[in-house]
Amino acid sequence: MKNQQIFNLFTLALLFLGFSCQPAPNQPVADNLPLTQDERMAWWREARFGLFIHWGLYAIPAGEWNGETDYGEWIRHSAQIPLETYDTLARQFNPTEFDARAWVRLAKQAGMKYIVITSKHHDGFCLFDAANSEFDVMSTPFKRDILKELAEVCREEGIRLCFYHSIMDWHHPDYLPRRPWESNRTTDGADYSRYVAYMKAQLKQLVSDYGDVGVLWFDGEWEETWTHEYGKEVHDYVRSLDPAIIINNRVDKGRQGMHGMTLEGGEYRGDFGTPEQEIPGAGFPDVDWESCMTMNSHWGYNKRDTAWKSTEDLLQKLADIASKGGNFLLNIGPMANGQFPPESVERLEGIGRWMAVNGESIYGTEASPFGIFDWGRVTLKRSMEGFKLYLHVFEFPKDGELRLPGVANEFTEAYLLAAPQTKLAVRRDQDALLVNLPATPPDSINTVIVLECQGPVAIYPLPVVQLESDIFVHQGKMEVEQPALPGVSVRYTVDGSEPTAASATYSAPLFFKESTTVKVRLFNKGQPASGVLAQSLQKVKPWPPTMQKGQQPGLQYAYYEGDWKKVSAMKAGKPEKTGAITGFSLDERQRSDHYGFEFNGLLYIPKDEVYRFFTESDDGSQLFIDGKLVVDNDGPHGAREVMGQAPLGKGYHTIRVLYFEADGSDELNVKWQPLGEQKTAIPPENLSH
Ligand code: FHN
């Protein structure tokens, strides 16, 4: 929160000065100077939209193995298929319908500017004629270098070809660790450094022999054998092969789970963050990032997966991501015959129809200078005379107007991007510009309106408040960031009225003993400059303690084994094991996948206060206090932290944590933060049963 707020004000200053974190795209690159980061990223920032392709031997079983039907590209691991059995799939790989030009043209017509395809996924199978491996496409009946054919067509069609290359390799004898269930596969003689050399040789072949590679998209960096040192080594090696290649942050160890952004301060390598299957709530100023997402629920082809996202949903996700300054990498898992699933083609074509008319509002745009609007999103593009705001209207407001707060610029005109001759009326109301909408939405999914403004961007974001919590037991506290702009002040009211030039000026933290709604607004030389931010602070009664008293230290646990998609399903079965345990430890697990725990006990609360609780888990978790759900972090996902809060009275309260691990990494961290104190693990002495 803090960084974001500082950014808002910092950006405000920059916006006024007309600077931006992103250069005009397609800058000319000086021949003899090292590439700047802006020069390297220019095409990628302009592109905004790419196609992800997960394709390999796993498309043959198409998600099904021994009667189970929910697998994807992890099938060898999840279905525990022995190496020798899985390798026989190579004898069946013969995608006779594969047509590189058809694929590239479908992506191009969808408005995609780059393709990231799995040169090698975790199973170790190479979709190219690997000079140092027989476990490749040339050892299949197909005997064609798929990546070479794609490279040729991408060059001709003006699409950047990029490669997803997995660090984790379940096939190569030197890669460690083995799969936990592969006890019969010896590790004798395995030399991880020799594996790294093998991988570097493949990277060199890909960078040297497959045309002008746009991005090396690493993945599978999470196992403990891959280190920050290796990450730096391979990143710098690729950069030495071609300084223009963009490298994602999964080459190193700084990526934070599925949120995908790089841990700050660790000098972790990577040109962009990689949120996966999620879109960040807000952008990351001055940081490049790309959300990757499946069209249904699987990366690799699963013939039974019908959970297709609608074209409308995908288009609105594209606008949402671009409005936050990110790229969208949308995935297709081709079928074993070499064709895209028809449902994927249908979505590409639908997206292409919209992009053909509105692509200008996505390509080369910058993040919205506003917050999130309930009617849609905003992207921005600068020009010599001023700038254009692209208003992506998903849902027309009932009053027929779009209110854009804090715009100090004068407007030139507004019109439909799809029909520029259709001009729209604009009027000013204090700090805001109001754009009058047509009676009916021209596009039911996303109508783009262009608002052209003069001069450098001078848009005041809403004031930024800092709260420890929006509820309090004893005293509420609110701070407001002071805008570092001459003549700009913060004024506020606590009676629900709109702040005026006569309202109180904010100068120090505000404290409250009763529930209050505070309204805050920026003023510039006595005139309203921003919209109004309303923030409520609620005085609440603490939940009464239970009459139970802790008898024994630690918690009771129940350990389960099975395959679930949410924690509530776990309890349907009988526990494999029960007992007492210190804290929320997973040490009693009997395997590393498909297991779960239920922890129960009493939490001693030392004082009446608001307590925040956090679970960071891979996969799902939930935390209950006194039987009420306080943290909901459920579902299959990578490492993710979710916070909840509860006002608790001094004494014992029941605490219950449910957790399940599907497959891949497993992790559970439970923390608390009494208001005004640091976030820490719950002290063992506060847990009993
Ligand atoms: O394990 C991979 C998975 O198979 C897929 O490739 C995704 C897409 O980026 N990445 C990893 C899961 O986080």
Work out the percent of the chain whose per-residue pLDDT is above 70: 95
φ, ψ dihedrals at 17, nearest 5° = -85, -5
Q: At 628, phi and psi to the nearest 5?
A: -95, 140
pLDDT band at residue 6 using 50, 70 and 90 as cut-offs: very low
CA distance 664 to 437: 49
Find, among 302, 298, 260, the residue nearest to 279 by Cα: 260
Q: Residue 245 corresponds to which tokens in the numbers above?
A: 């290649």
- Binned at pLDDT 50, 70 and 90, residue 165 comes out as very high
Residue 79 pLDDT > 90: yes
pLDDT, position 31: 62
Distance CA 206, CA 129 (A): 10
Alpha-carbon span 101 to 451, nearest angstrom? 38
Nearest atom in ligand 1 to 331's CA: 8
Per-residue confidence at 561, pLDDT binned at 50, 70, 90?
Answer: very high
Q: Would you kindly state where each structural domain of the chain is located, as residue ranges?
A: 1-20+366-461, 43-357, 465-539, 555-688
State mean pLDDT over 575-604: 94
The CB of 159 under 6 Å from ligand 1? The reply is no
CATH 1.10.1660.10 for domain 555-688, yes or no, is no
- Say yes or no: CB of residue 646 within 6 Å of ligand 1: no
For residues 592 and 349, the model is more confident at: 349
Phi-psi region of 379 (alpha: psi -120 to 50; beta: other; left: phi over 0): beta
**Binning pLDDT at 50, 70 and 90, where does residue 32 land?**
low
pLDDT at 550: 81
State which amino acid sits at residue 213. Answer: V
Would you give the DSSP letter of residue 373? B
* C-alpha 220 to ligand 1 mean position (Å): 7
pLDDT at 265: 82
Ligand 1 centroid–CA 105 distance in Å is 25
Q: Is the CB of 593 under 6 A from ligand 1?
A: no
DSSP element (H, E) containing 73: none
Q: What is the model's pLDDT at position 485?
A: 83
Please identify, by atom number, the ligand 1 atom nearest to the C-alpha of residue 217.
9
Using pLDDT thresholds of 50, 70 and 90, give the confidence band for residue 18: very low
Q: How many residues does this entry show for the chain?
A: 689
Model confidence at 660, pLDDT cuts 50, 70, 90, reads: very high
CA distance to 199, 548, 583, per residue, from 688 (Å): 50, 11, 9
Is there a contact between 283 and 277 (Cβ–Cβ < 8 Å)?
A: no
Q: Is 299 in the pocket of ligand 1 (CB under 6 A)?
A: yes
**How many Cα neighbours within 13 Å face the side chain of 162?**
27
Confirm or reject: Cβ of 73 under 6 Å from ligand 1. yes
Helices in 261-341 by DSSP H: which ranges? 311-323
pLDDT for residue 118 is more than 70: yes
Question: Please, which pLDDT band fits residue 256 given cuts at 50, 70 and 90?
Answer: confident
pLDDT of residue 62: 98
d(CA 629, CA 140): 52
Which positions ≥6 away from 568 have C-beta within 8 Å?
634, 658
- State if residue 292 touches ligand 1 by the CB under 6 angstroms criterion: yes
How confident is the prediction for the chain on average, in pLDDT?
93
Angstrom distances, CA of residue 606 to CA of 58, 468, 611: 54, 19, 11
pLDDT at 261 over 50: yes
Distance 597 CA to ligand 1 centre (A): 25
How many Å is the Cα radius of gyration of the chain?
27
Atom 7 in ligand 1: residue holding the nearest Cα: 299
Identify the residue whose C-alpha is closest to ligand 1 atom 5: 299
218 lines ligand 1 (CB under 6 A): no
Strand pairing class (432-436; 401-404): antiparallel
Q: What does the pLDDT average to over 199-207? A: 98
CA 389, 395, 399, 400 dihedral sign is: positive
Residue 547 has a pLDDT of: 86
Look at residue 373 and tell me whether its pLDDT is greater than 90: yes
Pairwise pLDDT comparison (3 vs 503), residue with the higher score = 503
pLDDT for the residue numbered 593: 86
52 CB within 6 A, ligand 1: no
CATH class, domain 43-357, is alpha beta
Task: Supply the pLDDT for residue 30.
Answer: 53
pLDDT surpassing 50 at residue 644: yes
Give the pLDDT confidence score for residue 663 in this predicted structure. Answer: 80
DSSP label at residue 463: P
pLDDT digits (tens, 9 = 90+) for 535-549: 999 999 999 999 888
pLDDT band at 322 (very low <50, low <70, confident <90, very high): very high
Question: Under CATH, which architecture does the 1-20+366-461 domain have?
Answer: Sandwich (2.60)
Of 534, 526, 525, nearest in space to 500 by CA: 526
> Is 71's C-beta closer than 6 angstroms to any atom of ligand 1?
no
Ligand 1 in contact with 217 (CB < 6 A)? no
In CATH, 465-539 is 2.60.40:
yes
> What's residue 35's pLDDT?
93
Q: Which of 11-20, 34-43, 288-297, 404-413 has the weakest average pLDDT? A: 11-20
Residue nearest to atom 10 of ligand 1 (CA): 219
pTM recorded for the entire structure = 0.88
Q: Is the pLDDT of residue 26 over 50?
A: no
**pLDDT the model gives residue 443:** 96
Instruction: Judge whether residue 565 has pLDDT over 70.
Output: yes
Ligand 1 close to Cβ of residue 252 (< 6 A): no
How much is the pLDDT for 25?
Answer: 41
Judge contact between 635 and 566, C-beta under 8 A. Answer: yes
CA distance 326 to 321: 5
- Mean pLDDT across the stretch 614-643? 93
pLDDT band at residue 8 under the 50/70/90 scheme: very low
31 compared with 218, residue with greater pLDDT: 218
Per CATH, 1-20+366-461 and 465-539 having the same topology is answered yes
Distance 352 CA to ligand 1 centre (A): 26
Q: What are the Cα distances from residue 431, in Å, to 9, 315, 533?
A: 17, 31, 13
Q: Name the token pair of 266.
A: 């660790």
pLDDT at 108: 98
Tokens of residue 195, six digits = 């594996």
pLDDT more than 90, % of the chain = 87
